[in-house]
Amino acid sequence: MSSEMNRRRFVAAALKTAATVLLASGLPAAKTLARGVIRYRMRFLRPPGALKESDFVARCIRCGRCAEVCPNRCIRYFDLENGLEATGTPYIIPREQACILCMKCGQACPTGAIQPLQHQLEDVLAGVKMGHARVEKQLCLSYQGQTCGVCYRACPLQGIAMRVGRLEQPHVLDGCVGCGLCERSCIQMPQAIRIIPAHG
Partner 1 sequence: MEETIAIPTPGRRPWRRHLNKLRWLVLTLVFAMLLLLPMISLYQTYVAAHGYDLLSPAQQRFYDFMEMLTSPFTSDPEKGLDAIKGTTWSGRFFGLQLSDPLAVLGQIAAGFTLYWPFVLSALIPVAATLLLGRIYCGWICPATFLYELNSNVAALLRRAGLNFGRKRLDRRFKYLVLFLGLVLSAVFGSVWVALIYPPAIIGRELYYAIALNGFGVGAVFFVLTLLFDILVARRGFCRYLCPGGALYSLLGRYRLLRIRRDVRNCNDCVKCNAICEFGLNPMRDDFGQECNNCSACIAACPTDALSFGIAIRDLPNQGDGHLGPRYRRQRAAGKEAS
Q: Does residue 31 interact with partner 1 by CB under 8 A? A: yes
Chain centroid to Cα 163, Å, comes to 25
DSSP string, the chain: -HHHHHHHHHHHHHHHHHHHHIIIIIHHHHHHHHHHHHTTSS--BPPTTBPPHHHHHHH-----HHHHH-TT---EE--STT-GGGTT-EEB-TTTS------HHHHH-SSSSB----SSHHHHHHH--SEEEEE-TTT-TGGGT----HHHHH-TTBTTTEEE-GGG-EEE-TT-----HHHHH--SSS-SEEEEE---
Q: Does 57 bind partner 1 (CB under 8 A)?
A: yes
> Please, which residue, 98 or 164, has the CB nearer to partner 1?
98
In the region spanning residues 71 to 110, those forming contacts with partner 1, defined by CB under 8 A, are: 71-73, 76-77, 79-80, 84-88, 108, 110
Q: 44 or 143, CB closer to partner 1?
A: 44
Q: Which is nearer to partner 1, 104 or 194 (CB)?
A: 104
In the complex, least distance from residue 86 CB atom to partner 1, rounded to whole angstroms: 8
Q: Determine if 18 is a binding residue for partner 1 (CB under 8 A).
A: no
Rank residues 7 and 62 by Cβ distance to partner 1 and give the closer one: 62
Which residues from 139-198 bind partner 1, rule CB under 8 A? none
One of 7, 55, 165, 171 touching partner 1 (CB under 8 A) = 55
- As a dihedral over the C-alpha atoms of residue 105, residue 107, residue 113, residue 114, rounded to 10 degrees, the angle is 50
Interface residue with partner 1, options 50, 60, 154, 186 (CB under 8 A): 60
Minimum distance of partner 1 from residue 2's CB (angstroms): 29
Number of residues this chain uses to bind partner 1 (CB under 8 A) = 37
CA distance 180 to 196: 10
Residues that bind partner 1 (CB under 8 A): 22, 26-27, 30-31, 34, 54-55, 57-65, 67-73, 76-77, 79-80, 84-88, 108, 110-112
